[in-house]
């Protein structure tokens, strides 16, 4: 089967990682896969798929394929304009954050199948549209994400945070900064380590911090492994890969109860969960882990066990079966 993913970008972020894994996994299972990208769009992932650079994401520039898999509301018109079967692949519920939520919501009402990556996404799509969907879980590459034996390499105790660029206010950076002011006031020896992706600028905080770049998964895993606590303060998430990757690297996790993480995060078992959008509970959870080595080690051990159960091969198989089974379906 010839399959097309029309993408605005393949930047270094969790959603694009899932698309890259889906494309590569479908190729490994015998499909021919194309990823259409605007000419100057970033391509930060290694793809075995055929990358087609186009002037614009418009139907007339797309290669001939059997099925189209749009992953964002603004690429659904590509699929409808081509008049070919398409499967809506939802990596996050766009009406929660895009400037035109009604247009985004309408793309979920097309009578085409929907694939989602978490039970929370399934629930919110059903609640808002009455549409059911098919679930496929992402995974962790444990050949890359594993404990590197470098705990404390950046000083410590170290608190690690992934810094995204502009337009990602729901990642909770402002709440995290407020929480870290509380943490540093009570635990001044704490080392704040920011791992910035490609489009993120130096935030220029009035807090002491170390800014790292992680242009590869290996660099990201090295930085995650060095931390004592990884913090994931998002207001909402379609799934939330980074806490699972941090668990695989042997780092204790504090996360918000942001929706997507519920498929693997268990409060007091493999992480500490706090309410989204509130600095005080977030700071308290970080301080608890910084001050309680026994709890931290227990969460690390259980986090490693959790991450071991999540792999991309299961994702590849499920995507293959869903795409081949749903390509001709109406809903």
pLDDT tens-digit profile of 20-40? 999 999 999 999 999 999 999
Q: Is 27 helix (H, G, I), strand (E, B) or coil?
A: helix
Same structural domain for residues 113 and 9?
yes
Q: Which of 74, 72, 50 is nearest to 63 (CA)?
A: 50
**Per-residue pLDDT at 331:** 56
Residues of the chain falling short of pLDDT 50: none
Q: Do 113 and 204 sit in the same domain of this protein?
A: no
CA 99 to chain centre: 21
Q: Are residues 126 and 163 in the same domain?
A: no
Helix (H, G, I), strand (E, B) or coil at 15: helix
How far apart are alpha carbons 165 and 12 in whole angstroms? 11
Query: Considering the entire predicted model, what is its pTM?
Result: 0.95
pLDDT of residue 330: 59
Q: Are residues 34 and 93 in the same domain?
A: yes
Q: Estimate the crossing angle of helix 241-248 against helix 293-308, to 10 degrees.
A: 110
Examine the domain organization and report whether 295 and 175 are in the same domain: yes
Assigned domain for 331 exists? no
Nearest CA among 12, 13, 35, 11 for reference residue 23: 35
50 and 128, same domain (yes or no): yes
| Whether 300 and 164 share a structural domain | yes
- Indicate if 164 and 302 belong to the same structural domain: yes
In-domain check, residue 99? yes
Q: Do 322 and 300 have their domain in common?
A: no
Q: Which residues contact 134 (CB under 8 A, 6 or more apart)?
A: 113, 114, 115, 116, 322, 326
Give the Cα-Cα-Cα angle 309, 312, 315 (nearest 5 degrees).
Answer: 100
Same domain, 279 and 322: no
Is residue 171 a part of any domain in this protein? Answer: yes
- DSSP-derived pairing of the beta strands 2-6 and 32-38: parallel
Secondary structure class of 177 (helix, strand, coil): helix
Residues 6+ apart with CB under 8 A from 306: 244, 247, 264, 266, 270
Answer yes or no: do 87 and 125 share one domain.
yes
Q: Evaluate whether 248 touches 297 at the Cβ level (below 8 Å).
A: no
User: Which domain covers residue 236, as residue numbers?
Assistant: 158-308
- Domain-located, residue 120: yes
CB-CB contact of 125 with 131 (8 Å): yes
CA neighbor of 96 nearest in space, from 178, 14, 185, 171: 171
112 found inside a domain: yes
Residues 298 and 195 in one domain: yes
Split into its structural domains, the chain has a count of: 2
Specify the DSSP element, H or E, that contains 274: strand 272-274
User: What's 44's domain CATH number?
Assistant: 3.40.50.2000
pLDDT value of position 168: 87
Say if residues 260 and 248 touch (Cβ distance below 8 Å): no
Q: Does residue 151 belong to any structural domain of this protein?
A: no
Torsion of CA 164, 168, 174, 176, to 10 degrees: -50
């Amino acid at each position: 089967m010839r399959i097309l993913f029309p993408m605005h970008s393949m930047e270094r972020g969790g959603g694009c990682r899932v698309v890259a894994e889906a494309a590569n996994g479908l190729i490994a299972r015998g499909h021919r896969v194309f990823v259409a990208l605007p000419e100057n769009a970033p391509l930060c992932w290694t793809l075995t798929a055929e990358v087609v650079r186009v002037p614009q994401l418009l139907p007339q520039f797309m290669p001939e394929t059997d099925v189209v898999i749009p992953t964002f509301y603004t690429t659904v018109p590509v699929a409808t304009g081509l008049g070919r079967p398409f499967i809506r692949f939802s990596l996050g519920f766009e009406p929660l954050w895009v400037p035109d939520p009604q247009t985004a919501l309408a793309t979920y009402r097309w009578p085409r199948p929907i694939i989602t990556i978490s039970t929370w996404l399934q629930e919110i799509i059903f609640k808002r549209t009455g549409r059911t969907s098919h679930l496929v879980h992402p995974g962790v590459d444990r050949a890359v994400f594993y404990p590197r034996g470098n705990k404390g390499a950046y000083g410590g105790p170290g608190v690690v945070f992934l810094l995204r660029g502009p337009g990602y206010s729901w990642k909770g950076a402002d709440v995290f900064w407020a929480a870290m002011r509380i943490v540093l006031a009570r635990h001044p020896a704490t080392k704040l380590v920011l791992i910035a992706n490609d489009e993120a600028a130096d935030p220029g905080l009035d807090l002491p911090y170390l800014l790292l770049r992680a242009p590869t998964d290996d660099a990201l895993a090295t930085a995650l492994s060095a931390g004592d606590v990884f913090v994931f303060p998002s207001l909402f998430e379609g799934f939330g890969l980074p806490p699972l990757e941090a668990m695989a690297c042997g780092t204790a996790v504090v996360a918000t109860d942001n929706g997507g993480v519920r498929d693997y995060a268990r409060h007091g078992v493999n992480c500490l969960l706090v309410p989204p959008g509130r600095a005080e509970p977030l700071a308290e959870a970080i301080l608890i882990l910084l001050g309680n080595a026994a709890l931290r080690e227990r969460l690390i051990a259980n986090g490693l066990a959790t991450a071991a159960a999540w792999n991309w091969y299961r994702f590849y198989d499920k995507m293959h079966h869903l795409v081949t089974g749903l390509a001709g379906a109406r809903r």
